[in-house]
Structures are given as C-alpha cells and as structure tokens.
C-alpha cells in the first residue's frame, strides 16, 4: 500500500482559525521555550511553573528568578490583549470580550501583588523577538542584583 510522504495530504484541511486557537492555547509556547533556552545559554538559572503565594494573588509566572525576585510572564497576544494583535473587532464583543477583560484584570492584579511583595515583573509579548526579550530580562536581572548588593553594603 503506497504511503503519502506528505502528512498534511492525509488529513482533512483545518480552518486557519481553529489551528491558530490551538497554537495560542498551548501552555508551553514556542516563544517561551526560545526565551528560556536563550537565558540558559546566557548562564541564567531560573525556575519554571512556580506558583507564588502572595497577598491577594497566586500568580504563576512562566520564568522565575527566585533569588533576584524577578518574575517573567510571556503573554499570548490573544489571551492577554496585546495592543498590536489583541484587539480584533470580533474579539471585543460576545463571549470573548468579558473573558479577555478578566484575563487582563487578573494580570494587573498579579503585577500589583508581586510588586507589593518586592518582586520585579517583566512581561513579554509572544510577538516580541526572543533575543530582545532575553536582553530585557537580563538587564532587569542585572539591575536588581546590583541594587540588592548596594542595599546590603550601603
């Protein structure tokens, strides 16, 4: 029996939208993995999937630097309403509108709770170049480590 070498040929065509939704929903996203491996290559050690117990929120940042108290979130453009891709008219009404508004409200509450507990929050959009995101995270890490060093010595 001849087998097709093209796996797509054996499947019925998928509507673009549902494929996008599946990609967006995935927990461990591609940009997130790219940023993690860049950080790792830069010698930065972090923890993943740590749920933090804070006053008023239990955020679960995507990348956590425990000692530096830096929490990184890689936010999906759709779920977190990125200003560039998150405001399609079809999304603002009906079912998704209120749901997405709650997501954003939860994000802001998490940011507030983290900052109140002495954490620095870095939010990266999934559309950002992983290399640039990495630079930004490292700059924040360097700033927080030197700040805490100054506080100890001074």
Q: How far is the CB of 21 from Zn ion (least distance, A)?
A: 15
Q: How far is the CB of 75 from Zn ion (least distance, A)?
A: 9
Site string for Zn ion, 23-62 (x = CB under 5 A): ----------------------------------------
CA distance 39 to 46: 8
Q: How far is the CB of 30 from Zn ion (least distance, A)?
A: 14
Which residues make beta-bridge pairs with 120? 70
Question: Dihedral, CA atoms, 21, 23, 28, 30, nearest 10 degrees?
Answer: -140
CA nearest to 141, candidates 128, 127, 122, 123: 122
Binding residues for Zn ion restricted to 97-126, rule: CB under 5 A: 125
CA distance 101 to 114: 20
CA dihedral over 152, 146, 49, 54, signed as positive or negative: positive
Site string for Zn ion, 59-88 (x = CB under 5 A): ------------------x----x-xx---
| CB nearer Zn ion, residue 113 or residue 122 | 122
Using CB under 5 A as the binding rule, whether residue 91 contacts Zn ion is answered as no
Q: How far is the CB of 127 from Zn ion (least distance, A)?
A: 4
Which residues make beta-bridge pairs with 124? 74
Q: How far is the CB of 85 from Zn ion (least distance, A)?
A: 4
CA distance 107 to 137: 18
| CB nearer Zn ion, residue 77 or residue 140 | 77
Helix or strand (DSSP H, E) at 92 = helix 89-92
| CB nearer Zn ion, residue 24 or residue 42 | 24
> Which residues here bind Zn ion, judged by CB under 5 A?
77, 82, 84-85, 125, 127
């Amino acid at each position: 029996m001849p087998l097709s070498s093209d796996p797509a040929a054996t499947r019925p065509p998928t509507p673009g939208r549902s494929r996008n939704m599946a990609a967006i929903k995935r927990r461990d996203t591609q940009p997130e993995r790219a940023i993690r491996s860049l950080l790792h290559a830069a010698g930065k050690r972090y923890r993943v999937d740590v749920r933090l117990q804070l006053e008023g929120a239990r955020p679960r940042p995507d990348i956590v630097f425990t000692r530096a108290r830096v929490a990184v979130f890689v936010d999906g453009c759709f779920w977190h309403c990125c200003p560039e891709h998150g405001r399609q008219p079809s999304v603002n009404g009906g079912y998704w509108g209120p749901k997405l508004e709650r997501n954003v409200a939860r994000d802001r509450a998490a940011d507030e709770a983290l900052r109140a507990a002495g954490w620095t929050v870095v939010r990266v959009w999934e559309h950002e170049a992983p290399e640039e995101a990495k630079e930004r995270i490292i700059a924040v890490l360097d700033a927080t480590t030197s700040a805490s060093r100054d506080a100890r010595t001074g």
